[in-house]
Amino acid sequence: MASLSGTRLVPPIEQSRVIREQFTERTSNVPDQPIEDVIRYTEIVDVTPEVAFAAYVDHFGTWWPSSYTFADGALEWIGIEPMQCGRCIERASDGTEVVWGEVLTYEPPARIVTSWWIQPDRTIDSDPERASEIEIRFIDERALTRIEFEHRHLSRHGEGWEAMRQAMASREGWPFLMQTYSDFANRQG
């Protein structure tokens, strides 16, 4: 029988993170691959879809890092208005508001789709032809929830979208943000 000495056994909740990191390491330096205009990410959280959905939408400002905002350290609030056509918005302590998206589909606790108006140069453009979309599905997995994240239509952002996609797919982009969300959601159970 093989020895497990020195082998780290990974708890099921951490498996998706470990697999994702291994995949990223294997594929990040592959030359000449066409860049897809989508980022996909899957995570498992140890709560029901209802709790996972509420953690994402109702408590967005609790888990989203203030350093990932336009408020430059003066963030008062950031969130998603929980309704069809609701705004994705942040407010600085001086009252300045930045709307960076809109709720396109609101189906609690199963799914939310929002537009993403933040352009490669970090300006805001609400033109639907220049907006990408973020869809998050909350799928019941017997007392767990599988989170299926997709940020699609990135090429709509025009010039610079490839670099934006690369940054958002990096460890400091969506993988970091979704891990931050997952950690928060797991504490809600």
HEC profile of 100-152: EEEEEEEECCCEEEEEECECCCCCECCCHHHCEEEEEEEEECCCCEEEEEEEE
Q: Please report whether residue 30 resides in a domain.
A: no
Split at pLDDT 50, 70, 90, the class of 35 is confident
- The end-to-end CA distance of the chain, in Å, is 38
CA separation for the pair 70, 73 (Å, rounded): 8
Kindly state whether residue 95 falls inside one of the protein's structural domains.
yes
Range of the structural domain that residue 65 is part of: 37-187
What's the pLDDT score for residue 31?
Answer: 53
State the CATH number of the domain containing residue 117. 3.30.530.20
Confidence (pLDDT) at 187: 98
Dig out the tokens for 161 from the structure: 């979208």
Residue 113 lies in a domain: yes
Neighbours of 184 (CB within 10 A): 17
Selection from 147, 119, 142 nearest residue 131 by Cα: 119
pTM confidence score: 0.82
- Put residue 154 in one of left, alpha, beta given phi > 0 → left and psi -120 to 50 → alpha: alpha
Q: Is residue 89 part of a domain?
A: yes
The answer to whether position 170 is within a domain reads yes
Judged against a pLDDT cut of 50, whether residue 27 lies above it is answered with: no
pLDDT reported for residue 21: 46
Instruction: Give the lowest-confidence range in 23-37, 90-104, 128-142.
Output: 23-37
Q: Is the pLDDT of residue 28 over 90?
A: no
Angle at 70 between CA 64 and CA 119, to 5 degrees: 100
Phi, psi of 51 (to 5 degrees): -70, -40
* Structural domain count, the chain: 1
Looking at this protein, which amino acid is placed at residue 101? G
pLDDT digits (tens, 9 = 90+) for 87-127: 999 999 999 999 999 999 999 999 999 999 999 999 999 99
Kind plus residue range of the DSSP H or E element containing 164: helix 161-169
**Would residue 131 count as lying in a domain?**
yes
Assess if residue 19 is contained within a domain.
no
The reported pLDDT for the residue numbered 10 is: 36
In a domain, residue 25? The reply is no
Confidence band for 2, pLDDT divided at 50, 70 and 90: very low
**Tens digits of residue pLDDT in 41-80:** 999 999 999 999 999 999 999 999 999 999 878 999 999 9
Tell me the pLDDT tens digit for each residue of 137-177: 999 999 899 999 999 999 999 999 999 999 999 999 999 99
Tell me what pLDDT residue 15 has. Answer: 42
